[in-house]
């Protein structure tokens, strides 16, 4: 078996990514993720992003992996798909070996998505744990607004409250860059690498996405003079129907030098009160396992959703590679 750059065979790459897109079409994130995969297909074939094909025969591919390299900080596999006849632990194991070898020029493979078609969590563990990977997942939490009231209103700890929109994108890009700068890796951020470019892509997707447009009252920030020092972005129709009574916290960002000053607590409290006044019954968010922010959410009244009720989402992390690259886990 051989792993080779995806753009050496655009036809096979496109065929497999269309299959992957179709797979996601029926998943929890539906059309949004499907369109993202199609965008990856275009970028891979044009050579704009690094990718890999698993070739079983000279020109016939049996699997495709989308590889996101960070600048000098290893590589992350954000999508991995193998054709149904090869969705076995043995086949995926050989694929992962090839991907590890392929990624060494970028410093090593430090993360692999945990949604591998055909393999459940236990089978993925059988493949990845012997290779030094451990699972880092996302906890889903909910605030049941239909059952309890949000915290009492309070004044902003700093600056002034503002409603955020597309006109604030440039300021939010700066906040995004500050939030992720120096971490070298954003395991669950939209795209690793240049933080300002990542931020632009992330925010344009949030404010300009036609499938799930933002709600006018669901994005709040704190502004000091002309600088946005904290923001919470929420979306209706993400991971749920657009007409549902559910709201998702898309992201919460606080500038590093303004953290632990009550900014995040205030923004989430304001969002909860706004949500209640607009008839929202449940406010959801996700947090990486082990993130200290989990304690903030619990203190505010969010509740963990039992793993059996929540879709497993996360990455398999190669701790040794991540440590050698200075990537915090």
Length of the chain: 329
Per mean pLDDT, which range of 27-31, 87-91, 102-106, 219-223 is the poorest? Answer: 27-31
Residue 159: how many other CB atoms lie within 10 Å: 17
| SS3 of residue 190 by DSSP | coil
In the predicted structure, residue 235 carries a pLDDT above the cut 80: yes
Please state at what angle helix 30-45 crosses helix 10-25, rounded to 10 degrees: 170
Phi, psi of 253 (to 5 degrees): -130, 135
Angle at 247 between CA 246 and CA 250, to 5 degrees: 150
What would the pLDDT profile of 262-283 be if each residue is shown by its tens digit?
A: 999 999 999 999 999 999 999 9
- Token readout for 76 is 């992350």
Domains of the chain by start residue, with CATH: 2-131 (3.40.630.30), 141-309 (3.40.630.30)
pLDDT at 107: 81
Measure the CA–CA gap between 228 and 171, rounded to whole angstroms: 6
pLDDT at 161: 94
Q: Which residue has the higher pLDDT, 305 or 222?
A: 222
pLDDT at 184: 42
Burial 214-225 (b: 16+ CB within 10 A, else e): bbeebbbbbbee
Per mean pLDDT, which range of 9-13, 51-55, 172-176, 255-259 is the poorest? Answer: 51-55
Among 101-105, 111-115, 137-141, 228-232, the range of highest mean pLDDT:
228-232
Per mean pLDDT, which range of 182-191, 210-219, 293-302 is the poorest? Answer: 182-191
Q: What is the pTM of this model?
A: 0.74
In the predicted structure, residue 16 carries a pLDDT above the cut 70: yes
In the predicted structure, residue 92 carries a pLDDT above the cut 60: yes
Angle at 140 between CA 138 and CA 142, to 5 degrees: 160
Kindly report each contact of residues 102-107 with a partner whose C-beta sits within 8 Å and lies 24 or more positions away, as own/partner.
102/3, 102/52, 102/67, 103/67, 103/69, 103/74, 103/75, 106/50, 106/69, 106/70, 106/74, 106/75, 107/72, 107/73, 107/74, 107/75, 107/321, 107/324, 107/325
Largest CA distance in the chain: 65
pLDDT at 316: 92
Sign of the alpha-carbon dihedral angle for 195, 196, 197, 202: positive
């Amino acid at each position: 078996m051989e792993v080779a750059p995806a753009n050496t065979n655009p036809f096979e790459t496109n065929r497999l990514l269309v299959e992957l897109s179709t797979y996601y079409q029926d998943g929890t994130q539906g059309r949004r993720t499907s369109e993202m995969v199609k965008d990856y297909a275009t970028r891979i074939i044009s050579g704009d992003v690094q990718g890999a094909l698993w070739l079983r025969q000279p020109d016939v591919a049996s699997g495709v992996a989308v590889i996101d390299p960070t600048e000098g900080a290893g590589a992350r596999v954000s999508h991995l798909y193998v054709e149904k006849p090869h969705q076995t632990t043995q086949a995926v194991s050989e694929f992962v070996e090839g991907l590890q070898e392929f990624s060494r020029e970028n410093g090593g493979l430090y993360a692999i998505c945990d949604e591998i078609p055909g393999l459940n969590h236990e089978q993925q563990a059988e493949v990845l744990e012997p290779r030094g990977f451990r699972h880092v997942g996302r906890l889903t939490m909910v605030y049941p607004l239909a059952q309890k009231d949000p915290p009492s209103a309070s004044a902003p700890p700093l600056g002034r409250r503002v409603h955020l929109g597309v006109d604030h994108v440039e300021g939010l890009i700066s906040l995004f860059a500050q939030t992720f700068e120096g971490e070298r890796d954003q395991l669950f951020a939209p795209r690793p690498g240049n933080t300002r470019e990542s931020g632009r892509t992330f925010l344009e997707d949030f404010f300009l996405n036609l499938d799930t447009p933002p709600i006018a009252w669901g994005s709040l920030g704190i502004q000091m003079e002309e600088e946005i020092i904290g923001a919470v972005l929420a979306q209706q129709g993400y991971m749920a129907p657009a007409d549902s009574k559910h709201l998702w916290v898309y992201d919460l960002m606080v500038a590093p030098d303004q953290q632990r000053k009550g900014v995040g607590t205030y923004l989430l409290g304001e969002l909860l009160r706004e949500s209640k006044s607009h008839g929202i019954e449940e406010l959801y968010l996700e947090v990486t396992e082990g993130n200290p922010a989990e304690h903030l959410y619990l203190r505010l009244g969010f509740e963990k959703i039992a793993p059996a009720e929540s879709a497993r989402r996360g990455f398999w992390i190669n701790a040794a590679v991540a440590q050698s690259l200075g990537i915090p886990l």
